[in-house]
A and B are shown apart, each in its own frame.
Chain A
Amino acid sequence: MAEENIQIIVHDDGRIEFSTHDIKGEACMEELEKILGELVDDIDKAKTTSEYHEPPSQRKTNISAKKQQKTGSGSS
């Protein structure tokens, strides 16, 4: 079974950036919602790659959702 990976970067001004690998499409968004839902606004608007829409059997990387959520003091 493939490893499921999530990379989360917390910037010093509070912004959060994340990407996932090898988590199936819908499951990925559910997982992100459970982990980051209360910390990031509009997580459902995270950008997805074309691989997100591929069938699981052909997928090398199921999703690479990446989003920068500004949560800092206003500097971007």
Chain B
Amino acid sequence: MSTVYVQVDMPITQIHCLDEAIKMAGGTWQRPEILNQIATARGVLAMADDTINRINANYQLAKLLKELATSKPLDSINITIDGINIQLTRSHGRYTARLPNYDSQLPQIQSCISKLQSNYQAGVKKLKENITETLKQLEEQKDILSSEQLEGERVRLQNEKLALESANKQRVVEVTKELEEKLAARGFEIRKRMIGKKIVYQAVRR
């Protein structure tokens, strides 16, 4: 029996953005509890009506974002969009839907995944812009806000970034480990260098 692989070419371990992408596509999934807690904490922060409450709300949200950033990626993700069920399984640092090529729903599933990818990428971009903008506003307000307020806001934003970047870091760890193993197994000698934020492998086989 032959199968085709519908691959999601991104590390969607940034589940907050995945959650938004699924919502935008009109879908549902087995939403992890941490996302509900983060949503509640964001609501509390938005409603905070005095300095103390705002500081506390920032720290609470920062704590949850850090928990999200350091949590183990989900092994599998089940999504339902327009009555179509999609199961994504994590391997090689990314999520893949493995489907038999005779599956009559294959075009719809591919379309759903494409929509999700597009939403996800837009969500990540929006979140990055939001963090940058908020940091800029914070800089402008640094003479108005108290040091406690500033620190609370900064910690929250740092953890927003951490949650966003952790998916990539995890992906890089898995990819480099697999690359090194495979190159060595194929008889290549490896020279590994860091150039800026890039990891460069020079593999030679004689």
Contacts and interface: CB of A to CB of B under 8 A. Distances in A.
Contacts of A10: 172, 175-176, 179, 198-199, 201
A6 B203 contact: yes
A34 B181 CA distance: 12
B168 A14 contact: yes
Interface residues of A, number: 28
A33 B172 CA distance: 19
B9 A71 contact: yes
Given A39-B92, A39-B178, A73-B10, A14 B172 contact: yes
Interface in B157-187: 164, 167-168, 171-172, 175-176, 178-179, 182-183, 186
Contact of A35 (B11, B182, B199): B182
Interface size class of B (residues with CB under 8 A): 35 or more
Interface in A1-44: 1, 3-14, 16, 31, 34-36, 38-39, 41
B114 interface: no
B198 A72 contact: no
B204 interface: yes
Most B CB atoms within 10 A — which of A12, A14, A35, A72?
A14
A74 B204 contact: no
Contacts of B202: 5, 7
Interface centre among B91, B121, B171 (most CB of A within 10 A): B171
Given A35-B183, A38-B92, A73-B164, A1 B7 contact: no
Contact of B124 (A8, A31, A34, A75): A75
A70 interface: yes
A69 B172 CA distance: 13
Interface of A: 1, 3-14, 16, 31, 34-36, 38-39, 41, 69-75
Given A3-B206, A4-B206, A70-B9, 5 more contacts: A10-B179, A12-B198, A35-B186, A39-B175, A73-B167
Interface of B: 7, 9-11, 14, 17, 91-94, 117, 120-125, 128, 164, 167-168, 171-172, 175-176, 178-179, 182-183, 186, 188, 197-206
15 contacts: A4-B204, A5-B204, A6-B203, A7-B203, A9-B199, A10-B199, A16-B175, A35-B179, A39-B92, A39-B93, A39-B175, A72-B10, A73-B121, A74-B117, A75-B121
